[in-house]
Copies of this chain bind each other. A is one copy, B any other.
């Protein structure tokens, strides 16, 4: 513990931090609540289904899927087991590397995702996208990228440039 000279937050810093910390606590809860109520999924499970649906063959290795969904491999393993029990995902041994496992989105899983997506997107819109104007949204994007870099300095982040391609149906 840094005993030398703690640099306390100044008043403006503190104001920003308080608003920010309240938000990062409450927003995930609000998003989870909507998904749970409307689809019986949590955010992580949704990200898993969404990640698979975008992948070629709707198939992804567990490790890749874990990174994509921002979670640990262990967590993913438990979650995929649950999703598999519900029939949304199927696991198969990776041909070519017997250590690896491929997770495959089933037709039922795809339908589940398709029925959950609109409500989730609507929630994201109403809580985050719509309350902010486009300029703020871009400010937010930059801010988040800088914070992500501070957390994980090695990782260069995709789509750091100011431009972006055409609209897509993905909501990951």
Within 8 A of B (CB), among A15-70: 15-28, 30, 38-39, 43, 70
Report chain B residues within 8 Å CB of A25. 28, 43, 70
- B residues in contact with A146, CB < 8 Å: 131-132, 136
Contact of A159 with B by CB under 8 A = yes
- Asked if residues B141 and A20 are in contact (CB atoms below 8 Å), the reply is yes
Q: Is the CB of A2 within 8 A of B119?
A: yes
A150 near B128: Cβ-Cβ < 8 Å: yes
Copies per complex? 2
Q: Report the contact-size class of chain A (Cβ under 8 Å from the partner).
A: 35 or more
Could you tell me if A23 and B131 are in contact, using CB atoms closer than 8 angstroms?
Answer: no
A6-B118, A164-B12, A169-B8 known; A157+B17 contact, CB < 8 A = no
The docked-state distance in angstroms from the alpha carbon of A5 to that of B70 is 29
Of B19, B116, B122, B138, which contacts A144 at CB under 8 A? B19
Q: Which residues of B contact A23 (CB under 8 A)?
A: 24, 144, 147-148
A151-172 to B contact mask, C-beta < 8 Å, 1/0: 1100001010000111111111
Q: Is A121 an interface residue (CB 8 A)?
A: yes
Check A167/B10 contact, CB under 8 A, given A128-B20, A150-B126: yes
Task: Establish whether residues B131 and A9, one from each chain, have CB atoms under 8 Å apart when the complex forms.
Answer: no
Q: Which residues of B contact A142 (CB under 8 A)?
A: 136
Q: A11-B167, A26-B148 are in contact. Are A3 and B118 (CB under 8 A)?
A: yes
Q: List 8 tightest A-B contacts by C-beta distance, closest first.
A: A6-B118, A19-B144, A16-B141, A11-B164, A131-B150, A23-B144, A1-B119, A16-B137
- Supply 7 A–B pairs (Cβ within 8 Å), ascending by A: A2-B119, A8-B167, A12-B137, A13-B129, A16-B138, A17-B171, A131-B150
